[in-house]
Structure 1
Amino acid sequence: MRQLRSLPALVAVLCALAALLVGAPTAQARSAPVLQPQGLDEAVCTDTPLRMTFDRNVQLGTSGQLQVHHADGTLVDVVDLADPGTYQKSIGGALTDYGEVHRWFYEPVVLDGRTASVHLHYPLDPRQEYYVTVDEGFFRGEPAIDDPQTWRFRTRDHPAAGASRLTVDQGGGGDFCTVQGAVDFVPQHNTQDVRIDVGPGTYREIVYVPQTKPHLSVRGSGAGRTVIGYPNNSVLNGDAAMSDVPARQSYCPRRVLPQPDRFNCWRAAFGVDADDFRLADATIHNTTPKGGSQAEAFRGNGDRIVLERVRVLSYQDSLRLQGRAFVTDSYVEGDVDFVWGTGGVFVQDSELKSLGTGYVSQIRNADDGPGNVFLRTRLTRAADVPDGSVLLGRIDSRFPGSQVVFLDSPMDAHIDAVGWGLTGFDCAAGERLRFWEHGSTDLDGHALDVSGRLPCSRQLAAAEAAKWRDPGTLLDGWDPRTSE
């Protein structure tokens, strides 16, 4: 009886052995990966990522190369797992304060289950044919792709030179597949308004707009549909990462505060050093996890920057604006100094959500220089943020004339009764400080008890508050509500 019960198992083993001997497929046979882009019938964006989808979850190896070649065999780009230099690239033609090319650290290969996405160091040339080779072991346990005919594709032409409207679609249906690809197409020293429409989807990329490309407008398909972001941060591309990089290759351009701003311009998911920039109808998400260091989602370091109907998501330092800026109908979340920078910045009809104990703002500006005004801006919190655990703002002794103004703004009970914090000095040395407030309420609209506020903060009179409700007061006559 025991022999009879084991007979089916023995038959299965013998059948599997027979299949191996005759070359028949077994349950363990592997399928070739699906390659994208693939084929010459339909041309693709010059900034297309390369994707391989396997029949199982995939892991990177520890050595080997992926190479991109022109049709004639000329090497165009290479990702070498054994060479850390291939984990860096220039973005947006960024130049340091010394005029030298700055290179960002980034992930050239991103794994997501069964799919590997390869992000090249440079956009490809238009109207060209390419093929890709992959060394054996580049992906663990995967064979090589070494036949030039296996993975071939061609690129489409660029839009007409001087185009004032560009489209981005990660699926390949636009002029470009990435936001940065569209920004790169705009000519240096641009003088005309250029609109970049970004389709629905999640765009996992660092975006940088250099100061030589003003007059850009980036518009998503809605903050719930277009998400642009990256896990960029100080450890990857900020002070911690730049400590051993020569100043000529690392110092930030257009520094508002020369000493503290040496390296911190490179750590944002979306950075703008250009004037006259507008962002609308999109989410900007720095996906650095909580505690993962300073990590701006959006950094604006130009004059006349407008954000409207946007969501800005991170933890520490989520939104940084330096120079005149206007934010309306938007949402910002974070925990420590998640709105910060210099000024003047006018924020209206928006929501600032605290994700943990900490500080809503840290605004650093010169004595008598413009700071930040928040008008009709709701201060909310995550469910686990305790009462009295968050300050409206803080500042240290280097910036004793800083200005932060909250007008007609509802605040949940997570805002501490003292309201404000000072580091390294006290109110006796804070006579130039402009921590101002008027008309603060709870979320139900009832007037707050502000009697416990920091002694050197001030409640504005009605006439003073009326003056600061006008963006032109803070923004030196620029009224962004009339510009489009």
Structure 2
Amino acid sequence: MNRRGFIAASIGIGIGIGTAALTTTPAQAKDTGKPFGPYGSPAHRRDADTVYVDPHGRGDFTTVQAAATTARTLVIAPGIYRETVTATVAGATWIGASGNPRDTVVVYDNAAGTQKPDGSGTYGTTGSATVTLRGEDFTAQNITFANDWLRADHPDITGTQAVALKVTGDRSAFFGCRFLGHQDTLYADSPAVTAIARQYFRDCYAEGDVDFVFGRGTAVYEHCHFRTLDRTDLGGAPYGFVFAPSTAGAAPRGFLVTRSRITSTAPDAYYKLARPWVPSSDTTAVPSLVVRDTRLGAGIDAAAPYANMSDSYPWQRQRFAEYRNTGPGAAVTVPENRPQLTHEQAESATPATYLADWTPRRARP
């Protein structure tokens, strides 16, 4: 699928990269004449620190990046924002104006192996991100973050990581957002090995194929939908891995997935649930993942749901566990391959425990 096909599919149907192309172009996208929906308009501000972003020029800014450097609250009109964005403002809130994340899409197509325009080298995984968020106390609501870089279009590039969103700030929350990509879609990280960054994802959707939810953050995914994509560039399983936490050894908790579901467009059992990432920058990492009360579809290999990224750091030595999962991908056929929490352990594997004294809240119209 070409770049325009990806964007059209993500807006019109909501599945993202793996969907047949439509014909929408950026100039045509959702130009309804009423770009701000329930969140008002530039003529009816709620406060002086709110700015309105609209690609057709009916707001204060036409790009998210320009708005993100000047204000804490962004109301973003429907449309496609083809740009990279880096935001550092603390306490920022971004709101998709229509209330539907398919309508407001921030997308770009850098990969780790993409050459920088100034000739200084390649972007690397972090540099490939369409959106990078560094400020604490960030909230996003009803927005799609996407990276539409495709392997098939760039057979000469071996660095195929292509991040849609990288977030490092503590107390970062995402409600009703979508994260679209292939490899390394959603990078939930912290600013340093010694820093704890709590992140909360509620009613969100993420899709990809390799390690597409990964990082060092203390991240809770509640009522989320993860979708593994089919691939044509591989001859057999595994196609990839849903989670790849890289939790610092001193951090008490990593990823918690609760009351969610995992589906797939790939053949049955062609995906692993997770593998641990111990990066060269932190060889003392002890990745942590708990998946509980979640439906695992047939796309997950029930017999062997975990694998190693490196034989030096086998998954069995990491902090991986499950609890009361359901679905064909959750069947415990080989008990030693599926560590389970006890009831007592599960009592502390909750969003409240992971988030401690922080209670994430949605933005209000």
The answer for the alignment partner of 2:206 in structure 1 is 332
Aligned partners of 1:311 and 1:330 also within 8 Å = yes
2:170 aligned counterpart, secondary structure: coil
Q: TM-score, normalised by structure 2?
A: 0.73
Give the Å deviation of 1:463.
Answer: 2.8
Aligned residue in 2 for 1:320: 187
Question: What letter is aligned with 2:240?
Answer: G
Q: Percent identity?
A: 29
The structure-2 alpha-carbon separation of the partners of 1:310 and 1:113, relative to structure 1 and needing over 3 Å to count, comes to closer
- One of 284, 294, 311 as aligned partner of 1:409: 294
Listed as ranges, the matches of 1:42-53 within 5 Å are none
Q: 1:449 aligns with which of 312, 327, 331?
A: 331
Matched, 1:214 2:81: no
Give 5+ residue unaligned stretches, structure 1: 1-111, 117-159, 187-193, 251-261
Whole-angstrom CA distance in 2 between matches of 1:363 and 1:475: 17
**Corresponding residue number in structure 2 for 1:296:** 163
Q: Is it true that 1:480 corresponds to 2:360 in the alignment?
A: yes
Q: Distance in 1 between matches of 2:220 and 2:293?
A: 14
Which residues of structure 2 form unaligned runs of 5+? 1-22, 28-44, 155-159, 190-196, 231-238
Instruction: Say if 1:453 and 1:361 are closer, same or farther in 2 by CA, change over 3 A.
Output: farther
Cα deviation code 1:30-62 (max 9, x no counterpart): xxxxxxxxxxxxxxxxxxxxxxxxxxxxxxxxx
Give the match for residue 120 of structure 2. Answer: 245
SS state of the match for residue 473, structure 1? helix
Which letter maps to 1:298? L
**CA root-mean-square deviation:** 3.2
Give secondary structure in 1 for the equivalent of 2:145.
strand
Q: Structure 1 stretch 343-352 or stretch 397-406: which is displaced more? A: 397-406
Residue 432 of structure 1: how far off its partner (Å): 4.6
Query: In structure 2, do the counterparts of structure 1 residues 420 and 478 end up closer, same or farther at CA, with 3 Å as the change threshold?
Result: same
- Cross-structure match for 2:270: 389
CA contact (8 A) 1:418 1:454 kept: no
What secondary structure, in the 3-state scheme, does the structure 2 residue paired with 1:299 have?
A: strand
Q: What count of residue pairs does the alignment treat as equivalent?
A: 297
Runs of 4+ in 1 over 4 A off after TM superposition: 112-116, 240-244, 429-432, 481-484
> What displacement does 1:180 show?
1.0
Q: Is 1:464 paired with 2:345?
A: yes
- How far the C-alpha of 1:288 sits from its partner, in A, is 0.7
Seen in structure 2, the aligned counterparts of structure 1 residues 164 and 467 have a Cα distance that, compared at 3 Å, is same
Corresponding position: 1:164 with 2:52? no
Which structure: greater strand fraction? 1
Report whether the alignment pairs 1:176 with 2:40. no
Instruction: Tell me the TM-score normalized by structure 1.
Output: 0.56
C-alpha distance 113-361 of structure 1, shift in aligned 2 (>3 A): closer
Q: Distance in 1 between matches of 2:315 and 2:177?
A: 35
CA distance in 2, matches of 1:114, 1:318: 23
CA deviation after TM superposition for structure 1 residue 163, in Å: 2.8
Residue 185 of structure 1 is matched in structure 2 by 70
Q: Give the structure, 1 or 2, with the largest relative contact order (CA under 8 Å, sep 6 or more).
A: 2
SS of 1:420 mapped into structure 2? coil
For residues 463 and 453 of structure 1, what CA distance do their matches in structure 2 show?
19
Aligned residue number for residue 79 of structure 2: 201
Q: Tell me, what secondary structure is at the counterpart of 2:52?
A: strand
Say if 1:331 and 1:172 are closer, same or farther in 2 by CA, change over 3 A. Answer: same
Q: Deviations over 1:202-250 (max 9, x none)?
A: 111111103xx111101112212111111122123xxx6599739xxx9
| Contact 2:276-2:315 within 8 A present in 1 as well | no
Residues 156-193 of structure 1: CA deviation (Å, up to 9, x unaligned): xxxx9x9311101111110111111111223xxxxxxx
Rounded Cα–Cα distance in structure 1 between residues aligned with 2:63 and 2:322: 42
Q: CA deviation at 1:426?
A: 7.0
The equivalent position to 1:419 in structure 2, one of 297, 305, 312, is 305
1:364 aligns with 2:242: no
Which residue of the partner structure matches residue 31 of structure 2? none
Matches within 5 A, 1:203-282: 203-210=81-88, 213-220=89-96, 221=98, 222-236=100-114, 241=116, 245=120, 263-282=124-143
Q: 1:426 to 1:200 in 2, by over 3 A?
A: same
Task: Give the distance between the partners of 1:115 and 1:438, measured in 2 at CA.
Answer: 44
Give yes or no for contact 2:112–2:126 (8 Å, CA) kept in 1.
no
Q: Deviations over 1:315-357 (max 9, x none)?
A: 0000011121000001000000000011200000010000032
Query: Are residues 209 and 380 of structure 1, via their aligned partners in 2, closer, same or farther at CA, if it must alter by over 3 Å?
Result: same
CA shift at 1:377, angstroms? 1.3
Residues 185, 213 of structure 2: 8 Å contact kept = yes
Native 8 Å contact 1:420 1:453 kept in 2: no
